[in-house]
Chain A
Amino acid sequence: GLSSARAAEILARDGPNALTPPKATPEIVKFLRQMIGGFSILLWIGAGFSWISFGIQLAQGTDSAFDNLYLGVVLALVVILTGIFAYYQEAKSTNIMASFSKMIPQQALVLRDAEKKELPADQLVVGDIVEIKGGDRIPADIRLIFTQGCKVDNSSLTGESEPQSRSCDFTHENPLETRNIAFYSTTCVEGTATGIVINTGDRTIIGRIASLASGVGNEKTPIAIEIEHFVWLVAGVAVSIGVLFFIISVSMRYRILDSIIFLIGIIVANVPEGLLATVTVSLSLTAKRMAKKNCLVKNLEAVETLGSTSIICSDKTGTLTQNRMTVAHLWFDNQIYSADTSEDQTTQPFDQSSPSWTALSKIVTLCNRAEFRPGQENLPIMKRVVVGDASETALLKFSEVILGDVMSIRAQNKKVAEIPFNSTNKFQLSIHETADPHDKRFLLVMKGAPERILERCSTIMINGKEEPLDSEKAEAFQTAYMELGGMGERVLGFCHLYLPENEFPETFQFDTDSMNFPTSNLCFVGLLSMIDPPRSTVPDAVSKCRSAGIKVIMVTGDHPITAKAIAKSVGIISATSETVEDIAKRLNIPVEQVNRREATAAVVNGMELKDMSSEQLDSILREHAEIVFARTSPQQKLIIVEGCQRQGAVVAVTGDGVNDSPALKKADIGIAMGIAGSDAAKNAADMVLLDDNFASIVTGVEEGRLIFDNLKKTIAYTLTKNIAELCPFLIYIIASIPMPIGTITILFIDLGTDIIPSVALAYEKAESDIMNRRPRNKRKDRLVNHQLAVYSYLQIGIMQSVGAFVTYFTVYAEQGFLPSTLLGVRVHWESAASNDFEDSYGQQWTYYQRMYLQWTGYTAFFVSITIQQVADLIIRKTRRNSIFQQGLFRNKVIWVGIFSQIGIAAILTYGLGHVTALNFTPLRFQYWFVAVPFAILIWVYDEIRKLLIRRYPGSWWDKNMYY
């Protein structure tokens, strides 16, 4: 091997043997983005204006100049704090992922300084000699110099699911094809090998693909687009109302400075300061919930993307299936039996009384080289780790389930000779002593490709008796073989022969090279067929997708027949639908004559796909509801994803291999497998499926749809009170009444009382089965549609304003200022020099006495908005159903929200009521109830709205009032 010194030199030259992680955005850029994104820019403008007016007023020597300085500082603080919060949330979800990928540091066995050493794999350099054994991950691209039964799983690289044998022979010009190279990040399935490192890090084949993948740009997530749309909408309203009233106030001969202060108020009232933070919290709550259900979301926004998914391109192996071969069918005594293929089988229900089964089970048990790894006796059989290839593993587990301790059976039937499976023979043979001490015969057992096995048989066992294999029985065999093969299953034939005692005495020396024993005229016993069976939860999940309007497309590297069989068994191709080929077969006409439109299903071969133009692919995707892509390479996955996106679909793609990463990136939501997935795939994906189970995606979809609905509710809730905050300013400007609510007070609503309730809406349960409606159309079904804005702004918002104004006028009237006295008093009211301001009863007020009353007005207005927001919160629980259908108490968090809201309001009013700067005053108790009738009205009105929507679907009311 290399000397440590030389290795260090090369390491210094080439760098560590690790993939360069995708270029991360610098933290400071991320942070700054949070600081100026969304509404922040508006608030910065507000803060800037505040400071400008502070400067001007200070120069003029106005007493209240510092109010504006504080307001500016508060606004800036709001922006910075919400920015820090959003940044922290984002960083938190990124960290989950970072810790995830660092879980297992890889080790490699290297020859250095003529000594074998365990080194971290990233220390490897070109020229190192490494040893690998079954189960290891290949630590770099290596050229093999010694192999022993070495097989590698290249599926993450090439998509081929079959393990490939590796040898020292150079067999092909193409490095991907030749047998003497093993690739970085693939796994060695069995055997051992020694090799020389030829490429490390980014220069490995995988590294090159990974760097290609990072070239595929990240698209904006649908929810990001929705939020942007919403921010624009609200900012547009804020700016246009602000500018409009700026012009109005200037033309009403207000001073420019006053007009600017009004503008700040209008902006602050219009911008839902807490909303983006609330949205982030809601998304991360859902992300947590999804993580519990095995969907780990890397990017918070992907939570919702999953909900708007309209096409899922799913892998077959491991995602739809259990990723292990399992015995599915048996054929003996001229009859096909089905075996249990579920994940946790403990018994097999088929009829085991026939003596043929006894014989067959013996062959299955004995003619098998697979073994359980020791020390797993306490694990369920299905979970135990087996050394051996997939079919032998299946057979071993199958017989262990039925017969019990296979290893002791094998010990009792001692193996005396063996010919392992090879591709020329296509059979496996072994010779055993029998368990019966009185029976001195040897038993020869053989399994292999059914047609090859049958060739070697002259008899067949029926009900335990050997019968001659005539053409009728051979015909029956053929039918069974075809039927099992047609189900996409891998079929094996089994036969045996008891060697006559006289020819093969106990001492007989079997020689497997010269084959000094019979290998023909055997007795055929039966067939076993195996398949990688679907996960038991998948058919249900697929049918859920179907009712949810999500198209599930299977993309697999497997054979079309197997792919189709699995697609049928999980419901991706439904029982009644036919492919073009099926129709051709049924009608007995050539494929070309079939009307393609009649075929709802399609199985597309990767070879066909290669020659297809994108128009042809589009038409396939459009015309067929049920599609399976078989024999596809991971590269073709990208083409399929792009095709789906051209249809306007939101595409989710699952993948595990490195080659999947471009498709994962390209997809609207890339889903990597947590168990089988490569790091590259996990890096490229937006979400990691911890249990590799398709059904978890569907749960994720459900959560994603729910959060979309609930975000609508949160936003509707939050926007409503903006009008109640805005109206005071507008009426103040137009009617020149004393200011009904202060800018700081507004911030206390937006960032105080309203925060917990709006997060509480994220816990709301779905109103109806959200999995029974079509995925949202990303062009039409907006998060904030105009119905939502209009209903919140122009209906509930106005009602709230009316309620709050009634409280405001009540407070003033009961202190001596009747509403008529208040109109047009602004200038005089706000003049600090005016200290004998007369009320409706002839009393005179000093400036401070008036200001204190004004703050009482702020507090009353604030309390009224809070009280009416309770009603708003309750009505937002549902959009269509009655609250009583939804249940008032099912979502306990809503009540936490309501109590927090009232609690915070009470603390502000009574606890902080003496802090002048906050402009709260202890409020008379009865003023809390002035707005209650309006709160009730809001509730009743919304119930009527929902009732009419339910009663008259599609009506004018439904179209205008349902958001």
Chain B
Amino acid sequence: GLIFLFYLVFYGFLAALFTFTMWVMLQTLSNDVPKYRDRISSPGLMISPKPDTALEFYFNKSDSQSYSEYVTTLQNFLESYNDSKQLQNIDCARGKIFDQSDAAVKKACRFNINELGQCSGKEDKNFGYSKGAPCVLVKMNRVIGLKPEGEPHIECTAKEEGMVNINYFPSNGAMDLMYFPYYGKSLHAHYLQPLVAVQLAITPNGTKEEIAIECKILGSPNLKNQDDRDKFLGRIAFKVQMLE
């Protein structure tokens, strides 16, 4: 009985102490910006849709069932880029870093979904999957305070030539500087990260083949795209295999 009581008190005390120290520790943190950002000094790249199995797209262009998941994902993803969702966003000056560190309320720059062209889902509800030219959205990870230098753009290459023709939306796969820097979830609630759509027009040669594609961020000296250990730092590799 007594021993039970003892441990009740003892663990109660420890739990209280734990809670208290955690509370104290959390008090030292800012709500807006994490204390340290050194672990993510350079952003990673990611694509949407993201297949469940290790970044391999596998579909049959004549079987809508086989790619419906990708299409749905893209639709859902682009939902937040709809004009109706961007009413409070402003049109920013292109080609310039949009520094608002002095502003109390950080504005988000509008990303016009039409810039994604054929991959916007407006003209082609199937994002090219039914035509054998699937769209993949490439995005760069949000990192607070990141100000890319130069003219960052996405460039994708297929491992083997002649299997696929790659188109970029916006053209050249450019990521406009006006979308940077990011100020964090709480200050920058409506922020939308810029997207680059990559349309992979698979040639008859490439049909049925497994095509390895690597996309990189180029044109910016402070965005790394070559790290031995981190294969997603400024680059991303995925595979596409299309059947007929």
Contact = CB atoms under 8 A, between A and B. Distances in A.
Contacts of A856: 39
Given A795-B10, A842-B144, A848 B232 contact: yes
Interface in A833-867: 833, 835-836, 838-849, 852-853, 856
Given A813-B29, A842-B185, A853 B22 contact: no
A806 B141 contact: no
A814 B141 contact: no
Interface stretch (B11-19, B61-69, B85-93): B11-19
B184 A841 contact: yes
Given A819-B22, A833-B50, A836-B44, A843 B141 contact: yes
Given A833-B55, A835-B232, A842 B22 contact: no
B21 to A, nearest CB: 5
A844 B233 contact: no
B54 interface: yes
A586 B231 CA distance: 100
A845 B229 contact: no
Nearest to A847: B232
Contact of A844 (B53, B142, B188): B142
A805 B26 contact: no
Interface in B186-208: 186, 188, 191
A924 B35 CA distance: 12
Nearest to A838: B142
Given A798-B11, A819-B22, A960-B3, A843 B233 contact: no
A794 B32 contact: no
A416 B40 CA distance: 112
A845 B144 contact: no
B103 interface: no
Contacts of B32: 841
Contacts of A833: 50, 53-55
B25 A809 contact: yes
Given A835-B44, A842-B188, A798 B14 contact: yes
A843 B40 contact: yes
A626 B51 CA distance: 87
A916 B144 contact: no
A810 interface: yes
Contact of B14 (A802, A816, A960): A802
A818 interface: yes
Interface string A939-963: 0000000000000000010001000
A815 interface: yes
Contacts of B46: 835-836, 844
Contacts of B55: 833
B22 A809 contact: yes
B29 A956 contact: no
A916 B229 CA distance: 10
Given A839-B34, A842-B188, A843-B143, A848 B40 contact: no
Contact of A794 (B7, B26, B29, B54): B7
B2 interface: yes
Interface string A900-917: 000000000000000010
A923 interface: no
B39 A849 contact: yes
B34 to A, nearest CB: 4
Interface in B94-146: 139, 141-144
A844 B141 contact: yes
B176 to A, nearest CB: 19
A844 B54 contact: no
Nearest to B139: A836
Contact of B230 (A809, A844, A849, A960): A849
B131 to A, nearest CB: 27
A815 B39 contact: yes
A933 B184 CA distance: 33
Nearest to A812: B34
Contacts of B188: 842
A846 B37 CA distance: 14
B43 interface: yes
Contacts of B10: 795
Contacts of B233: 846, 848-849
B32 to A, nearest CB: 7
A832 interface: yes
Nearest to A846: B44
A844 B44 contact: yes
A69 interface: no
A924 B36 CA distance: 11
A266 interface: no
Interface residues of A, number: 40
A799 interface: yes
B141 A836 contact: yes
Contacts of A960: 3, 6
B236 interface: yes
Contacts of A849: 39-40, 44, 230, 233
A805 B18 contact: yes
B81 interface: no
B222 to A, nearest CB: 16
Given A799-B14, A916-B229, A843 B22 contact: no
A816 B14 CA distance: 26
Contacts of B184: 841-843
Contacts of A818: 26, 29
A960 B3 CA distance: 8
A843 B34 contact: yes
B212 to A, nearest CB: 16
A806 B182 contact: no
A844 B29 CA distance: 19
A852 B39 contact: yes
Nearest to B34: A816
Nearest to B2: A956
Contacts of A835: 44-46, 141, 232, 236
Interface string A786-820: 00000000110011001001100110011110110
Given A833-B50, A849-B40, A814 B14 contact: no
Nearest to A811: B36
Nearest to B184: A841
B33 interface: yes
Nearest to A845: B40
A810 B35 CA distance: 10
Contact of B29 (A814, A924, A933, A937): A814
B36 A814 contact: yes
Contacts of B21: 806, 933
B230 A848 contact: yes
A359 to B, nearest CB: 82
B46 to A, nearest CB: 4
Contact of A816 (B7, B25, B37, B45): B37
Nearest to A819: B22
B43 to A, nearest CB: 7
A933 B21 CA distance: 10
Interface in A54-88: none
Interface in B213-238: 227, 229-233, 236
B18 A802 contact: yes
Contact of B39 (A813, A840, A853): A853
A489 B43 CA distance: 99
B36 A845 contact: no
B52 to A, nearest CB: 8
6 contacts: A816-B37, A836-B46, A841-B184, A841-B185, A842-B191, A848-B227
Given A814-B29, A842-B182, A844-B142, 8 more contacts: A799-B14, A806-B18, A810-B25, A815-B37, A836-B141, A842-B185, A842-B188, A843-B142
Interface pairs A-B: 7 shortest CB-CB: A842-B185, A846-B44, A844-B141, A816-B34, A848-B230, A836-B46, A814-B35
Interface of B: 2-3, 6-7, 10-11, 14, 17-18, 21-22, 25-26, 29, 32-37, 39-40, 43-46, 50, 53-55, 139, 141-144, 182, 184-186, 188, 191, 227, 229-233, 236
